[in-house]
């Protein structure tokens, strides 16, 4: 069974600071990664996806992927209180027919 | 935006009772999923479906059944509910190919089994 490990479990960041979240899969068949954000009491919503080695930036959010080590990271710069949420990493292994496996998440708290 | 609707949103059931959680999507997505979310476990996949008439076991299927009678509807059935099934359940729909990972979630169903 595929495992997706996220670290840290929780993170406190000052407003305007940088938050860095990590995610690693133990399944060598994993091909794609996604990051989801879940505000308290709400449903998860997709934030970013990354399929190729390297870096992808969307606004204040940057995602890195190293396929050789099956490691992805999410970086939030200029963090805002509205970024306070649970961030979930998801991976897919075994091709298009496979369902996503989620990690247990990183809880980010941005203090004003 | 894609729409996924779950019902009921809150349910209190007794141990040994039958519970049915329903999900409807208007996205015309082939794939639908049922996850449960508990503190410290993220989202865990229970059952999923590739289309009407199909159901597949996820990572934690024991104690659950699923039914996909149509493209739009996907149900999760607990025949004999137990307190360990107290959780928040999320239904999601998603596309195929590279869009497999872009899931649209419903608002969740909070189930309490006494």
Does the distance separating the beta carbons of A32 and B102 come in below 8 Å?
no
- Chain A residue with the nearest C-alpha to that of B48: A99
Tell me which residues of chain B, numbers 9 to 38, contact chain A at a CB-CB cutoff of 8 Å.
31, 33, 35
B16: closest CA of chain A, how far (Å): 28
Q: What does R_g of chain B's alpha carbons equal in angstroms?
A: 13
The neighbour count for residue A94, using CB atoms within 10 Å, is 12
Give SS3 for B10: strand
| Interchain contact B95–A (C-beta under 8 A) | no
The per-residue b/e assignment along A44-80, b for 16 or more CB within 10 angstroms, e otherwise, is bebbbbbeeeeeeeeeebbbbbebeebebbbbbeebe
Q: For the segment A40-99, what is each residue's pLDDT rounded down to a tens digit? A: 999 999 999 988 889 999 999 999 999 999 999 999 999 999 999 999 999 987 655 578
Give the per-residue pLDDT at A52. Answer: 85
Give the per-residue pLDDT at B9. Answer: 97
Give the per-residue pLDDT at B32. Answer: 94
Give the per-residue pLDDT at A2. Answer: 58
Q: Could you check whether the bond before residue A43 is cis, i.e. omega within 30 degrees of 0?
A: no
Whether B19 and B11 have beta carbons less than 8 Å apart is answered as: yes
Does the distance separating the beta carbons of B106 and A43 come in below 8 Å?
yes
pLDDT tens for chain B, 114 residues long, are: 659 999 999 999 999 999 999 999 999 999 999 999 998 778 999 999 999 999 999 989 999 999 999 999 999 999 999 999 999 999 999 977 666 778 999 999 999 999
- Chain A residue with the nearest C-alpha to that of B58: A99
């Amino acid at each position: 069974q595929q495992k997706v490990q996220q670290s840290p479990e929780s993170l406190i960041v000052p407003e305007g600071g940088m938050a860095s979240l990590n995610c690693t899969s133990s399944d060598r068949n994993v091909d794609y990664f996604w990051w989801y954000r879940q505000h308290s009491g709400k449903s998860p919503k997709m934030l970013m996806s990354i399929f190729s080695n390297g870096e992808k930036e969307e606004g204040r959010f940057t995602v890195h992927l190293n396929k050789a080590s099956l490691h992805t990271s999410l970086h939030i710069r200029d963090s805002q209180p509205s970024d306070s949420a649970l961030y979930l990493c998801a991976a897919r292994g075994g091709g298009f027919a496979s369902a996503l496996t989620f990690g247990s998440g990183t809880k980010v708290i941005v203090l004003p | 935006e894609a729409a996924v609707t779950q019902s009921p949103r809150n349910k209190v059931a007794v141990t040994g009772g039958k519970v049915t959680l329903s999900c409807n999507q208007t996205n015309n997505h082939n794939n639908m999923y049922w996850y449960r979310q508990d503190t410290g476990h993220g989202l865990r996949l229970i059952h999923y479906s590739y289309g009407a008439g199909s159901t597949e076991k996820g990572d934690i299927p024991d104690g659950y059944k699923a039914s996909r009678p149509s493209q739009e509807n996907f149900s999760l059935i607990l025949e004999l509910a137990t307190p360990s099934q107290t959780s928040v359940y999320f239904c999601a729909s998603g596309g195929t190919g590279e869009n497999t990972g872009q899931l649209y979630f419903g608002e969740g169903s909070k189930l309490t089994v006494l």
